[in-house]
Amino acid sequence: MEQAVLRHGLPLAGVELAAQLARLAELAAVGRCLGLSALAAVCSCLIAANLVMAPVAHVTASVVAHLAVQPIADGTIRRRRDGRAQAAAALALAALISLPISLLYYVTPALLARLQLPDPVLLGAGEYMPTLVLAVAPGLLQAAALGYLRAWQRLPTASLVIVATTLAYIWLLPRALSAGGLRGAAVAVAVVHAASL
């Protein structure tokens, strides 16, 4: 039992730690490179994004893992290639869920305007959040892939890929900020999610 917990828990902890490290690096880089108004804009957007995306990503991973584990356990799927229909269903689930979340990301700057935030913060949110829509589908596909890999007990490999892409993101982020400002940071998030797939 303890070995199973370690075998599944440590890779998931590594993924969560990498995600938190990426967020901290993003906030530090935005604040250092673009100033306090840009930092306030990103923080405001991330509050809205994390309220929706984090729970949905976890539910997506859990649903996919559960749907994949049952056929593995009862013997209807014995090889990974027999699970192609499951993988396709997981991808479809992630794609369908990404549509309403993308819409919410897109309208977040208008919702933040109702809070009467300062104009520079709203301008930054207007640059960052609509561009962050590009990261929704890859982020949910990543969650679905993690659920699928969890079912097939391949999390250590997946977690290493995610940690490696997080380190690449930390390297890429200052360059993205200097090239594209807040839009560049949002594009970098999407690129890293897509690269980890």
Task: Give pLDDT, residue 80.
Answer: 54
Residue pair 197/145 in contact by the 8 Å Cβ criterion: yes
Average pLDDT (159-185) is 90
Quote the CA–CA distance of 112 and 93 in Å, as a whole number. Answer: 29
Quote the CA–CA distance of 176 and 191 in Å, as a whole number. Answer: 11
Q: What is the pTM of this model?
A: 0.81
Average pLDDT (51-55) is 87
| Residues 120-168 pLDDT 10s | 999 999 999 999 999 998 888 888 888 877 777 777 777 888 888 888 8
| Residues 27-49 pLDDT 10s | 999 999 999 999 999 999 999 88
Q: Which residue has the tokens 């993308």?
A: 102
Nearest to 183 by CA among 121, 119, 98, 125: 125
